[in-house]
Structure 1
C-alpha cells in the first residue's frame, strides 16, 4: 500500500519538526494568561494536547506525534507553566481552573469536539475534562496513566519507587529533617511555600531531579538536579497539586465517574517499567471499559520520549486518522 505524503508507518520516527501557524496569549482571568499554539492543518481534525506535571509545559516534540496534513494540533501551557504567566503561581490554580481553561480555549478556537491527548498528569487532566465535558470529546489518547489517588502519590513520594532507586531516594529524603520524612510532600511544601525559605531553590531542584531521574527505564540511577528556572515552576506546582490531592473530592474520583466516558474510544499506552506511574493504574482504568485499548510496552518507562511509547502512540494516532477508531 502506498504511503501518503507525511504519513508514518509503525516503528518509524516522529513526524518532522513543525512550526505553529498560530500563537496567541489567552487571558483566562484570575490574573492568569495562557500561551496557546496551533500546528498542522488549520482545517484538520482537532486534537488538544495536555502536558504533564503538574508544572511541566508543552514542547516542540509534542507537535510531532500527529500527521500535520490531517490534524489540527492545539497545545497550551497550563496555569503558571512554560510561557504562561505569572510563572509558578499557585493562586487560582486548581484542577477545576484547568478544566475551565480547556473549555475556554476550545470555545475561543471554534472547536466543537476534539481528541484529547495527554500523558501522566496530562492523562489525569484529560480524563477529568472528558468526564466533565463528555460531549466535547471524540476520543482519548493517554500515556502513563495517573489517576490522582493517594496510593499513587504515596508510591512515588512515600518510598515505594525509592526501593528501586535507593541512592536517588536517599538524596531526595535527606533534603528534609528525619523527623519530617513520614510525609515528604508536606515537608517539601513547608519549604517551597510561600517561596522565601532559604532552602526553597535547592529543594525545588532536588524535587524535580527525583522525578526526572525515574522518567526513563534506561536511566543509570545517577543523582542530578534540574535547571533552577524550570525547577522553581515544576516543584512548586506539582507539590501544590499533590499537597491538595489534585483538588478531587474523593480518592477514586476518576474511576467513580468513569461511566460518563465509557461510550468514548480510548487508547492507553503504558510502559511496563514505569516507576512514576506503575501499570496498575492503567489496568484499573481499562478494566471493564469496552472502548479502551490498553497497550503495555515492554522495557519502557514513563517518558514520552521512550521509543516504544512514541511508536505505539504514533501508530494509534495514524490508525485513528485513517479509520476513526484506535487499532
Structure 2
C-alpha cells in the first residue's frame, strides 16, 4: 500500500537515511525523527505511505503553501529518521502503530500546534485514522487518498487475491517464502518474508522480490533508472519496515478503524479512491464512508493509487483547498 509509487517511478528524490539531516525530534527508544515545515497558515500534517517509504518534496504540492503550514514527517525506521531500517535492524525495535501515534502527538506539542488537518496516503490513511481516533480533539479535518484500513482482508487482497490478476509476478513473489510456509496463507507468507529480511544472508534477495511484486501490480520495474526502487538499499529498508508492520497486522484488531469510526464521526473528511486501484479495494473506503457522517467519498475512474499521480494530485489539491473552509 503505497502513496509514493509515482514518486518512485518518476524519479523523485530518494531519501534513504544516509543524507544530511534537517530538524529532528528525539522521541526516545533510540529513535530520532526527521521533520520539515514549509508554508504559512493553517497547520497540516502529511502521513506518508508504506509503511516505510518516507516523505518526498512532491507532498508539498498537495497544498497551497500560502494558506497552509505543512509539516512532513518521516516515520520511525525510514526516510531521514534514524535508525534507518536499511542499515540497522534496531529501526524495527519500539516501532509499532502505537509508537507512531505517540510520535505525532509529541511532534504536535513540539511545534505548538493546537489542531491540524491530517493528510494520509495509502498506509498513511490507516495511521491518520488511528491517530484521529486516539486524539479526536487534535484533528480539525482529514484528507485520505488511496484509503487503506490494513484489515486482514485488505492484506489478503494485496498479497494474495490480486495474484489472480498478475499470476506471473505472483509466482515469483511466492517462490521466496520458505517451503514450510503455507503457499496460500497470506499471513504466513508475510511473516516468512519478515524473517528473511532480518537475516543478512537472505535479506537483499527477499527485499528485491517483495518490492518487485509491489511495483509490478502497477506496471513498474524496480530496475527503472531514477526510481527509488533502483537503489537496493532503499528496497531493503522499505521491505523490512512494511513486513514488520504487516506481519503484526499493524497491531490493530481486525476492522478496528471501522468499528471505532464513531470517535471521529464529527471530523470532516474527504476520501479519494480509484475504482480499480489494484493495491487497495474500494470496498474499505465505501464502508468507512457509510459509517462516517462527516465524510465524503470521491471515486476516480481508473487504477490510480499514488497521491503523486496527476489525477490523484489534482483531486487532493482541490480537497485541501476546500478544507480551508471547514473546521
1:285 aligned to 2:288? yes
Alpha-carbon distance in structure 2 between the residues aligned to 1:31 and 1:293: 40
Return the offset for 1:177. Answer: 4.2
Aligned to 2:43: 46
RMSD: 1.7
Question: Which structure 2 segments of 5+ residues have no match?
Answer: 1-20, 86-90
2:168 is paired with a residue of what secondary structure?
Answer: helix
Moved over 4 A (4+): 221-225
Residue 310 of structure 2 corresponds to residue 313 of structure 1: no
Residue in structure 1 matched with residue 13 of structure 2 by the alignment: none
Q: Does residue 188 of the first structure (1) align with residue 193 of the second (2)?
A: yes
The number of aligned residues is: 293
Q: Assess if the C-alpha contact under 8 Å between 1:50 and 1:119 holds in 2.
A: yes
**Contact 2:215/2:221 (<8 A) preserved:** no
Cα pair 1:209 1:224 within 8 Å, conserved: no
Q: Unaligned stretches of 5+ in structure 1?
A: 1-21
SS of the residue corresponding to residue 23 of structure 2 reads strand
Cα distance per residue 1:215-252 (max 9 Å; x no partner): x4xx2x7675832111111111110111111011x201
1:253 to 233, 253, 256: 256
Kindly indicate whether structure 1 or structure 2 has the higher relative contact order, using CA contacts under 8 Å at least 6 residues apart. Answer: 2
Matched, 1:229 2:236: no
Q: Aligned ranges for residues 1-327 of structure 1 at < 5 Å?
A: 23-41=22-40, 44-88=41-85, 89-158=91-160, 160-180=161-181, 181-182=183-184, 183-193=188-198, 195-196=199-200, 198-214=201-217, 216=218, 219=219, 226=229, 227-248=231-252, 250-321=253-324, 323-324=325-326
Query: Who wins on radius of gyration, i.e. which is larger?
Result: 1
Contact 1:139–1:266 (8 Å) recurs in 2? yes
- Structure 2 length-normalised TM: 0.86
Contact 1:167 1:223 in 2 (8 A): no
C-alpha displacement of 1:186: 2.0
Gap change, CA 1:223 and 1:95, over 3 Å in 2: closer
